[in-house]
Chain A
Amino acid sequence: MSFYQKYLEYRDFDFEQFHNKLTDDYILSIINKDRINELDFLALLSDKAGEYLEIMAQKSKKLTLQHFGKVIFLYTPIYVANHCVNQCIYCGFNISNNIVRKKLTMDEVEKEAKIISDTGLKHILLLTGESRIHSPVDYIKDCVMILKKYFTSIAIEIYTLETDEYRELVEAGVDGFTMYQEVYNEDIYKELHLKGPKRNYINRIDTPERACMAGMRSVNIGALLGLDDWIREAFLTGLHADYLQNKYPDTEISVSVPRIRPHNGEFQPKVNVDDKSLVQIMLAFRLFMPRAGITISTRESSEFRDNLIGLGVTKMSAGSSTEVGGHALDSKSEGQFDISDTRNVEQMKDLIYSKGYQPVFKDWQEI
């Protein structure tokens, strides 16, 4: 079975009718449960549950403290190439966008890695645009060989690979995988992904599972919020995470909740996901999967991110640049999207301490 079957189960589900039937008592009973099921999770994403955000936050805080403690894990992305063969109308790397394209040489990767590692960070997320031609698996492996000298955990966020290719990367030293479905709604997916291999919806939805099968230690998924109704998208993200965690118990499953950011191109988000909704998604997810990680990137503003510490977030990026060579090179390229929280690692570290939490730079190393 693929998660696609699960998606089909809910494709024609009447979300509105389900949410209209929810009562205050039912929402409160869910919040007080030890373990909640998938329809409980859906209920927690409703407007009705939105009235109980503070209680959900208290519960989420308690669960997060129990399972993760007073810590926030830190990482940063390193963009090594921005060549892309896809036409995704919401993305700055879209093939039809006339931007400066670049791919780092190994010397340049090393320069970037050194500067990033001087900040104390030990966990890195390697990103490319989605082009197998420009950044083939061997190129990724070469990058990983260099990054290994500086970082103890290396995750990738690249184009979709086959299971054997993921296995090759795991053997080379990659332990983490991130891929966003972007949008779970299959019709909208087709509208937004006009051309390129990424247009294949089912291939995309099955990719995180291939990473699990290949033995990735951690697999992080998410929907790009703003592309469709956030309740459905958040619900399906949670179901997908739960599906993977049940099927691959030895993989650490986590989710990101990225909201679409300004970027090169004309596309405007279809749905406005406000701060309250984003918080509700995080809280509902925490109650649904108490031990799963939740990542918040620098897409979000510094003020908003500061307030999320303690609510359920477990991992944050810091000192980020979405440009290829954004840390070391003079001749930079254009970024994938504009970041919002521009604080450096030292500033993030101080902020996390000031909130009574420990910034954790290292919680993994290859053995």
Chain B
Amino acid sequence: MEDKFIIGGKELSSRLFIGTGKFPSNRIIPQVIKSSAAHVVTVALRRIDFDSKEENMLNHIPKDCILMPNTSGARNADEAVRIAKIARAAGCGNWIKIEVISDNKYLLPDNFETIKATEMLAKDGFVVLPYMSPDLMAAKRLKDAGASAVMPLGAPIGTNKGLKTKELVKILIDEIDLPVIVDAGLGRPSEATEAMEMGAAAVLVNTAIATSDDPISMAEAFGLAVIAGRKAYLSGAGAVKEFAEASSPLTGFLGA
């Protein structure tokens, strides 16, 4: 069965997106990308060391990947917009993951400012993927604002707690006519599978891969987990039936 995954007019070969922060060395990034088979890679623009050949993250990302710079460090919509424009001017393409965070205690995104930034950047020709708290109204507004996908968090960034927002993310999957990409909080491959089985279009993983003892192997594990979850979803798994269907003891008297 054909299962195309298209965002911003591009067909993506993998439903695992990966983040590039927190790794013990940038030099292993190419192997991490290879073993995970990821196609979309996110990089914090503010972290890119353009002056250093060795430390410049961009030099470690294979050319066939889609670079998705993120606006990490932005505290409001205007800052996010400025970062996105700098990224595009620096040759990082027109994809942008919006992260607007003004809460350093929990690192939870500011949906309101994120919607504003999405609107401005989508109008300006960016392919906008906003990181958000899973809220239905906010997701609808992001769609109206021109987002190409929505990226709700599974749990607060870096907590590795898994799909704690499951019920809310499920609502987004059911109600929002955009790819829903679960971002942040997934700590194990099984949790990535869970998100995919539920119908998420993709997942983004960083901490769980970067801080494992063997990031290259863990990246592969996540790659496989995402494939497994997607296959299960397409196969109709997860339809747990609460009531039997075979007979109709209560309504049988009504006849066929």
Contact = CB atoms under 8 A, between A and B. Distances in A.
A in complex with B:
yes
A249 B25 CA distance: 30
A356 B24 contact: yes
Interface in A338-367: 353, 356-358, 360-365, 367
A358 B73 contact: no
Given A70-B210, A360-B47, A367-B82, A253 B26 contact: no
Interface residues of B, number: 33
B68 to A, nearest CB: 18
Nearest to A359: B55
Interface string B94-113: 00000000111111000000
A67 B22 CA distance: 9
Given A250-B102, A250-B103, A362-B55, A70 B207 contact: no
A120 B47 CA distance: 14
A291 interface: yes
A69 B141 CA distance: 33
Contacts, number: 77
A358 B86 CA distance: 25
Given A245-B105, A249-B103, A358 B49 contact: no
Nearest to B187: A66
Interface in A37-74: 65-71
A136 B75 CA distance: 30
Contacts of B207: 66, 69
Interface in B61-80: 73-75, 79
B23 to A, nearest CB: 6
Contacts of A71: 21-24
Contacts of A165: none
A364 B107 CA distance: 17
B159 interface: yes
Nearest to B24: A70
Given A66-B159, A69-B22, A367-B86, A362 B105 contact: no
A367 B79 contact: yes
A287 to B, nearest CB: 15
Contacts of B23: 69-71, 358
Contact of B46 (A65, A356, A361, A364): A364
B248 interface: no
A48 B209 CA distance: 36
B13 interface: no
A252 B47 contact: no
B75 A357 contact: no
Contact of A249 (B46, B49, B104, B210): B104
Contact of A246 (B26, B44, B105, B211): B105
B55 A361 contact: yes
B246 to A, nearest CB: 45
A66 B160 contact: yes
B103 A66 contact: no
Nearest to B107: A291
Nearest to A117: B51
B83 interface: yes
Nearest to A245: B105
25 contacts: A66-B159, A66-B211, A68-B22, A69-B211, A71-B21, A71-B23, A71-B24, A120-B52, A120-B55, A250-B103, A291-B104, A291-B106, A356-B24, A358-B23, A360-B47, A361-B55, A362-B46, A362-B48, A362-B49, A363-B44, A363-B47, A367-B46, A367-B79, A367-B82, A367-B83
Interface of B: 21-26, 44, 46-49, 51-52, 55, 73-75, 79, 82-83, 86, 102-107, 158-160, 207, 210-211
Interface of A: 65-71, 120, 122, 245-246, 249-253, 291, 353, 356-358, 360-365, 367
The 4 closest A-B pairs by CB, nearest first: A69-B22, A250-B102, A70-B24, A362-B49
